[in-house]
Structure 1
Amino acid sequence: MLSLTVSADPGGIDQGENVQVDKVLFISKGRKRDQILVHTIEKTYYMIGTLRHWENFLNSNGFRFLNVDRSNTLNVEKVKIVNGIFKDAYFECDITKTSKRCPIAYHRFEEVIKEMGFINSDIIFTGVATR
């Protein structure tokens, strides 16, 4: 199983940890240039690189990451629910205030949910108009 070497410290000072890619919910741009945040259910980690680089790398290794806006790329296999009103993807069926969510760009929402549905037919779409 492929894993990413990440840091729990945004400065990258602490010892690195390995996180299995199948535990990654989504990756997002950090505040610093070339800083990426790696989101799992339990924690957020940091690593170096660009969003496009990591999306291409992960997809070329058999994973299904989809860029949903300029700052977020999500692991479509991990998505459980997409809220069409707020344009957010969730990674658990019982959504609470503390649930992790990944925003989806409003202007790309229709295109993104169509592609997500092709990749993962188990996703539940709420508040989405069907045509």
Structure 2
Amino acid sequence: MSTMRIHNAVGHLIRRAMQAHTAVWTEEVGTELTSLQFSVLNEVRAQPGIDQRTLGERIALDKSTTADLVARLVRRGLLERTRDEFDARRNVLRLTDAGVQAHAATLPFAQRTQRRLLAALSAEERAMFKRLLAVVIEASPDGT
């Protein structure tokens, strides 16, 4: 009978890396805002008036997950969603004042999370690690 060395398996390592990210995120940011919710706020902050479909594409989320995240952030008063005045099929997004404040308050901790996760790597290794992850993601069946 043949077996796999699970501790060297890519899926296992990716899962463990995600667990490490979640643990550090929770220590740095807390549980009030998830890293995915922060990604939404960050992208809308970078491009006020972005439509919901484009937002989902930019942060690599499917349509229903994007809609759910946006709805949650709207209910919490962090995002404002309105119909595009030129195309009623599109929802455009902007941060509310509370959303701007939440983003600004979270940003330094999100940045510190990144630094902590990659602290064991040299600058060259960090760049290579990110490049290699991007290659694996691009080569995946859905490219997300």
TM-score category (smaller protein): 0.3 to 0.5
Higher RCO structure, 1 or 2 (CA under 8 Å, sep 6+):
2
Please state which structure has a larger fraction of its residues in helix.
2
**Bigger Cα Rg:** 2
